A and B are shown apart, each in its own frame.
Chain A
């Protein structure tokens, strides 16, 4: 409710500040595919990202050429399927004295849910030939139908009391291409995460990603000349640019506990940023990028996701911990030299965890008087519960911005980023205090090589 009130306040402020600008109403329909992405899982196992249908209708209102709101109705069916692991998931008991892992098997699960959803979103558009937009806000879900294939969720004698209503967050970005003066075709990618546990006694929360194609029709649109004149008269807006960014990051976990056991891993970084010019050549940069951080391990351990060695069956593991974040930077960019080709930027960032997993292989050699086995375990474990939901940190970056054809520019940047928080959720392993197994610390640091394509 607190989030909702904040949302309404911001909404009213935007309306008050937008009345003097061009406004229009747009509507559209879309259809596409959602890919399930369950959240809040108790650690272990792989939830397959299953495709499901999504269709919807939306109604948007823009206060000016860049900012608006959007709502609508969305019908979607989300399919969840857990893959049988056949290997024990390891987690640590809470016992003070016993640091031996407990082994836990999770079987097959299938669940599907049909929703009617109502989003309520802010929209930010970057006017250009191909319009780029970002949306963020709340989404309210009303479950229409569902099925649970696995009887262990509920004993047969008890009623199925799956939660019918949910609310969550929705982030979306996409492009639209004008077909006529009023018609556009749209392509959007959305990320939806529910906030309520939908099964009693389980931590599961709904989640999915959507890829949709649609058509947009604009009402009350002023003619093109009017729009362009408005656009031309707004000198500050003219210089706002969007940069599509992609690159590689090297992520490491120089943890103070067994830090040498962990090695860096490569991951992608992809996103966009909005560059808002300030005075004296400075600019403020924000946006969203998807980043995969993590670390790798090649060692003997009783756990797959971190180093723990004891007397129990020990695995030789070759695994990676991967944590997907939506990174929102808040940077100040400073030009270096008069040419403004070189720049330095720095500022904080906020990271929102999207997923966390442990992947790789583990080998276990077991020897007894009557047997000798070598087992290879192909690991895919959801470890969302072990990683905190968000992270904050600071970025230092520098780069060069090269003009290319027309008004486009290519930015090549090198960034160093460090997280401030220990993102490992110790409570997920219990409150053990053991000198031989001190609480782990995971604090990501990354070095990124990024290439940006700046669109005026």
Chain B
């Protein structure tokens, strides 16, 4: 009897003195996945992504034995793959070929992975970009996402942009931009081109540099404001005169490619920086960035006479027929046209943008037989004659528009890091 009681007691004490394991964390399965093929690469739609797409999967707990089944699937873009199902080899790699589609700009290939027992592990995505024809492709890449200015030389087939405080030349594809390292080109800020293909760049220190050989080499012009070490505004008129502007000096112009400079009269700088056009009668027409600042000069820029405009004019454009167009802030944005050297104006179109800006760089852009008119805060109009307009693209976020030497439109978003590419098919 006593033994029975003793056994029961020992059993109970044993239960009470349970020895518990120490706290611990164990990784029972520990898989890593990634695409060895680079993410976010840029291709043309319909192209193959590299020679092949390489996927890597490994179980760190058993790297040599644990093969992984990989199912490749195109989930965005409409492309296709050569191998849809595969197993990782002893090194953990699985391969497929991926041809991009054209259904979307961002295209996604998904690798769904399963262990050897068929249990689903995870899905890993590879995203690449396929630039399409006749569609707007939204890019937030560098440097073009923060483009500040562009020139396109259609004769010599080159385009340059200023972005991120550097000069970039378009590469073999329109979305590739290669940095230009030239000691003369230091802190570029604006870029312009004249009718002879001479490219001018202004710098953050107020220098003006030029290239006579389509960006191959650069040399410094005479400094427009020798005593001023800060940036300047530059525009080039259709007679190849160079016009420079700063707030605290006279507007100046150079007739000889930046070698010598002349002061514009009549306190022209009080109207802000702007555009100048040479009319066929030899006079000059100017509109500054300030409201209602249309002026005309008959003595080659020495004196200016103000011209009254309808609405609140902010921008000037003169086409090859000497038809004058002014952009006003009447009823949103209204474009007026004058065929009698600004004696009378006719309303040709009005639109209502979401917002306005004083930075109206490239409203009128011509490529081929068409004008592409960028209205900041509204979108893009298309016109053959600037008399009738078609809505080309309504996008309230647009702030600027550039066209490269191939005719690729590059619209800039107001957020300063996004651009929209559109390459139109040759028709």
* B10 nearest CB across to chain A (Å): 9
Point out the residue from B5, B12, B26, B32 that lies within 8 Å of A371, measured CB to CB. B32
Decide if A75 is an interface residue (CB 8 Å cutoff).
Answer: no
The answer to whether B124 touches A369 (Cβ under 8 A) is yes
The answer to whether A270 touches B9 (Cβ under 8 A) is yes
Decide if B64 is an interface residue (CB 8 Å cutoff).
Answer: no
A-B contact pairs, 22 of them (CB 8 A): A46-B22, A83-B22, A84-B23, A87-B25, A290-B16, A367-B122, A369-B123, A369-B124, A369-B125, A371-B33, A372-B31, A373-B27, A373-B29, A376-B25, A376-B28, A377-B26, A378-B24, A380-B23, A404-B1, A408-B1, A410-B5, A453-B5
The answer to whether A377 touches B9 (Cβ under 8 A) is no
The answer to whether B12 touches A269 (Cβ under 8 A) is yes
Chain A hits for B27, CB < 8 A: 373-376
Point out the residue from B26, B28, B122 that lies within 8 Å of A368, measured CB to CB. B122
Q: Given A367-B122, A370-B124, A410-B1, answer yes or no on A378-B15 (Cβ-Cβ < 8 Å).
A: no
Bound together, the chains give a CA A269 to CA B124 distance in angstroms of: 54
Point out the residue from B5, B16, B121 that lies within 8 Å of A372, measured CB to CB. B121
Residue of B nearest to A359 (CB): B20
Bound together, the chains give a CA A408 to CA B123 distance in angstroms of: 72
Bound together, the chains give a CA A292 to CA B15 distance in angstroms of: 9
Going nearest first, the 10 A-B pairs with the smallest beta carbon separation are A268-B15, A246-B12, A270-B12, A372-B31, A374-B29, A85-B23, A453-B5, A87-B25, A378-B24, A372-B121
Residue of B nearest to A106 (CB): B23
Chain A hits for B358, CB < 8 A: none
The answer to whether B32 touches A375 (Cβ under 8 A) is no
Bound together, the chains give a CA A347 to CA B33 distance in angstroms of: 64
User: B24, B27, B122: which has the most chain A beta carbons within 10 Å?
Assistant: B24
Chain A hits for B388, CB < 8 A: none
Decide if B21 is an interface residue (CB 8 Å cutoff).
Answer: yes
The 0/1 profile, CB within 8 Å of B marked 1, for residues 53-90 of chain A is 00000000000000000000000000000011111000
Decide if A405 is an interface residue (CB 8 Å cutoff).
Answer: yes
Chain A hits for B34, CB < 8 A: 370
Residue of A nearest to B123 (CB): A369
Decide if A351 is an interface residue (CB 8 Å cutoff).
Answer: no
Decide if A247 is an interface residue (CB 8 Å cutoff).
Answer: yes
Q: Given A292-B16, A451-B8, answer yes or no on A372-B33 (Cβ-Cβ < 8 Å).
A: yes
The 0/1 profile, CB within 8 Å of A marked 1, for residues 32-44 of chain B is 1110000000000
Bound together, the chains give a CA A45 to CA B20 distance in angstroms of: 12
Chain A hits for B22, CB < 8 A: 46, 48, 83, 378, 380
* A235 nearest CB across to chain B (Å): 27
User: B9, B12, B31, B113: which has the most chain A beta carbons within 10 Å?
Assistant: B12
Q: Beyond the given A246-B9, A372-B29, could you list 20 further A-B residue pairs with CB under 8 A, ordered by the A residue number?
A: A48-B22, A86-B24, A86-B25, A87-B23, A244-B5, A270-B16, A292-B15, A363-B28, A367-B122, A371-B32, A372-B31, A373-B29, A373-B31, A374-B28, A376-B25, A376-B28, A378-B26, A380-B20, A405-B1, A410-B5
Bound together, the chains give a CA A372 to CA B119 distance in angstroms of: 11
A interface SS class: strand
Decide if B11 is an interface residue (CB 8 Å cutoff).
Answer: yes
The answer to whether B32 touches A377 (Cβ under 8 A) is no
Chain B hits for A244, CB < 8 A: 5, 9
Bound together, the chains give a CA A380 to CA B143 distance in angstroms of: 54
The 0/1 profile, CB within 8 Å of B marked 1, for residues 374-386 of chain A is 1111111100000
Bound together, the chains give a CA A380 to CA B124 distance in angstroms of: 35
- CB neighbors of B among A353-367 (8 A): 357, 359, 363, 367
Bound together, the chains give a CA A364 to CA B28 distance in angstroms of: 10
Chain A hits for B124, CB < 8 A: 369-370
The answer to whether A376 touches B1 (Cβ under 8 A) is no
Point out the residue from B9, B25, B33 that lies within 8 Å of A375, measured CB to CB. B25
Chain A hits for B30, CB < 8 A: 371-373
Decide if B13 is an interface residue (CB 8 Å cutoff).
Answer: yes
Chain B hits for A87, CB < 8 A: 23-25
The answer to whether B11 touches A375 (Cβ under 8 A) is no
Chain B hits for A451, CB < 8 A: 5, 8
User: B5, B34, B113: which has the most chain A beta carbons within 10 Å?
Assistant: B5
The answer to whether A247 touches B125 (Cβ under 8 A) is no
Bound together, the chains give a CA A363 to CA B29 distance in angstroms of: 11
B interface SS class: strand
A-B contact count (CB 8 A): 105
Chain A hits for B12, CB < 8 A: 246-247, 268-270
**Interface, chain B (partner A; CB < 8 A):** 1, 5, 8-9, 11-13, 15-16, 20-34, 113, 121-125
Chain B hits for A368, CB < 8 A: 122
Bound together, the chains give a CA A295 to CA B31 distance in angstroms of: 35
The answer to whether B11 touches A246 (Cβ under 8 A) is yes
Chain B hits for A247, CB < 8 A: 8, 12
Decide if A267 is an interface residue (CB 8 Å cutoff).
Answer: yes
The answer to whether A371 touches B122 (Cβ under 8 A) is yes
Chain A hits for B24, CB < 8 A: 86-87, 377-378
Bound together, the chains give a CA A67 to CA B25 distance in angstroms of: 52
Bound together, the chains give a CA A324 to CA B25 distance in angstroms of: 26
* A401 nearest CB across to chain B (Å): 14
The answer to whether B23 touches A83 (Cβ under 8 A) is yes
Bound together, the chains give a CA A99 to CA B149 distance in angstroms of: 51
* B289 nearest CB across to chain A (Å): 48
- CB neighbors of B among A428-456 (8 A): 451, 453
Residue of B nearest to A324 (CB): B16
The answer to whether B23 touches A375 (Cβ under 8 A) is no
* B255 nearest CB across to chain A (Å): 61
Chain B hits for A372, CB < 8 A: 29-31, 33, 113, 121-122
Chain B hits for A408, CB < 8 A: 1
Chain A hits for B15, CB < 8 A: 248, 267-268, 292
Chain B hits for A45, CB < 8 A: 23
Chain A hits for B123, CB < 8 A: 369
* B65 nearest CB across to chain A (Å): 17
Bound together, the chains give a CA A229 to CA B244 distance in angstroms of: 128
* A51 nearest CB across to chain B (Å): 13
Bound together, the chains give a CA A290 to CA B17 distance in angstroms of: 11
Q: Given A268-B16, A410-B1, A451-B8, answer yes or no on A370-B25 (Cβ-Cβ < 8 Å).
A: no
Bound together, the chains give a CA A343 to CA B122 distance in angstroms of: 64
Chain A hits for B8, CB < 8 A: 246-247, 451
Bound together, the chains give a CA A403 to CA B276 distance in angstroms of: 123
Chain B hits for A357, CB < 8 A: 20
Chain A hits for B21, CB < 8 A: 378, 380
Bound together, the chains give a CA A438 to CA B11 distance in angstroms of: 39
Bound together, the chains give a CA A368 to CA B21 distance in angstroms of: 31
- CB neighbors of B among A390-414 (8 A): 404-405, 408, 410
Bound together, the chains give a CA A376 to CA B29 distance in angstroms of: 9
Chain A hits for B29, CB < 8 A: 372-374
Point out the residue from B23, B32, B121 that lies within 8 Å of A379, measured CB to CB. B23
Residue of B nearest to A380 (CB): B23
Chain B hits for A369, CB < 8 A: 33, 122-125
Bound together, the chains give a CA A246 to CA B1 distance in angstroms of: 15
Point out the residue from A268, A375, A380 that lies within 8 Å of B26, measured CB to CB. A375
The 0/1 profile, CB within 8 Å of B marked 1, for residues 320-349 of chain A is 000010000000000000000000000000
Bound together, the chains give a CA A209 to CA B2 distance in angstroms of: 27
* A152 nearest CB across to chain B (Å): 19
Bound together, the chains give a CA A359 to CA B12 distance in angstroms of: 19
* B98 nearest CB across to chain A (Å): 17
The 0/1 profile, CB within 8 Å of B marked 1, for residues 240-261 of chain A is 0000101110000000000000
- CB neighbors of B among A262-298 (8 A): 267-270, 290, 292
Chain A hits for B31, CB < 8 A: 371-373
Bound together, the chains give a CA A270 to CA B6 distance in angstroms of: 12
Residue of B nearest to A371 (CB): B32
User: A45, A359, A378, A404: which has the most chain B beta carbons within 10 Å?
Assistant: A378
* A383 nearest CB across to chain B (Å): 13
Residue of B nearest to A373 (CB): B30
